[in-house]
Structure 1
Amino acid sequence: MNATSIATRAATGFNSGNALELHGVSRSFGALKAIDDVSFNVAASERYAVLGSNGAGKTSLFNAITGDFLPTAGRVLLFGEDVTVLPPQERIRRGLRRTYQSSLLFRDLTVRDNLFLAVRGVNRGRFSFFRAKTDDASAASARDLLEHARLAHLADAPVSELSHGQQRQLEIGMALAGAPRLILFDEPAAGLSPAERKELVALLKGLPQHIGYIIIEHDLEIALNVVERVTVMHNGRVLCHGTPREIEDNPQVQAIYMGEHGHGHH
């Protein structure tokens, strides 16, 4: 193999193969199987959705991917490496990020400062509040994240003044700190107003192309709008995989969502 092709391979290494592979992942709580034999792959830089009604097992699946709860069976591979038993911090080091349903924001600090601390935290492996003024690289990164989160106009507002939707945007901005390769979004559309939902879709569509993500969502309409492929879960198992169009036209999926509450929203 000549030097050029090695260099090319090094440059494209992040884009080859799969960002995530799940092989027969299960999680039991006593007799209850929260997830049962779930398998699918997410390609590097692919945008993916896991859909399902509440109680479908989405959260347990998320926790198996992040390492917050380990699976009781099966394997989890991140960028080709078996991470099944690795703690969350080790997965973060390998480029995985997640947003949380419950907000982890510093409410008394500004939007900019929250993003700055997220950058510092990832770079140092911990939060560091010192020498903030001299850290130009982190300040520049925080400015980038402000743009991606579509919050530049609120940079100096305290988080406590943000709307629910803007706080969600900020959480996504924080998840973008430190060059992630795959982000897990935990029901980002939950509780958003129609205007905030539009903003969320614009934000997700505008993320850098090399960043793959998995959106776990109850909301069909948002999820199908921002991804290339979908897995639908029901009662802890995979019901089907497909493109957004295939999922939309799938009578089983329609039956679940219709049976639950008449249409695609809460």
Structure 2
Amino acid sequence: MWPLGSQSVLKWCAHCQQFIGEMRPYADFSITHGLCRKCSGEQPDLLSGDEYAHAVALRDIFQALFAAGRRSDFDAAGPLVDNAIAVHCRPVDILIGMIAPMLYEIGNAWERGTLTVAGEHEFTAFAERVVDLVEAKMRQAWSQPARHAGDGCYLLMNAPGNIHVVGIRILGLWLQNQGWRTRHVDDLTVLDVLSEPAIAGEPKTLLVSIALREQCDAVASLIERVQALPAPSRPNIFLGGYAVKTHLVPRIPGVKLAADISALGLD
């Protein structure tokens, strides 16, 4: 079992049920509702019965999915995902607005010593199976057109020593859902990929997920090598992950820290 706290907020659109983002201080998860950019222009009636019913249904699904994760009950997860889609949640929003916050909470519980290593492994296995399920739903409903080749690509990697792959996988699916090209790399391949002639002349963004303070030195060394590449090969660099969200990573010149995906500046 792992506990939930009471401070952070997950913001969803009350009209279309799209996940909008997290609100500080990122410590734990309750749900609030506002309007996404599109729906704010349409000015729906937020006090209508339908909007209220959607909000209640979303909250109940979110809490039930948390409970299933605590029990490693994958059989319960499938119907909950179907229920979320039935109340108009996009599959990608289930990943970034429900599963990703659960991963943060599991890391927080492990750091506090309230979760065993075995418990963390059980939850990770549960999360991986749910991501598989939601990814299949996403690909069935894939509708976002691919962006032009010259728009750029995103390279995604874990920090050296970070073995948790679910978070970076969710980020990749979120980007693909918006039509972006993505490639998964590691500290052994990233310099070669960045130097490929095929992508030398287009914008590139390197997203690095860092989980623990102890990984900072290896990340700093990696970034130094990336920044030493010739100008056409150098990417924009963002650091994200649990260590960034919990303010364990120092500022690094030329690198942006992304506590959540909204910091990437993408819709």
Query: Normalized against structure 1, the TM-score is what?
Result: 0.29
> Is the strand fraction higher in 1 or 2?
1
> Is the helix fraction higher in 1 or 2?
2
Query: Normalized against structure 2, the TM-score is what?
Result: 0.29
Q: Larger RCO: Structure 1 or Structure 2 (Cα < 8 Å, ≥ 6 residues apart)?
A: 1
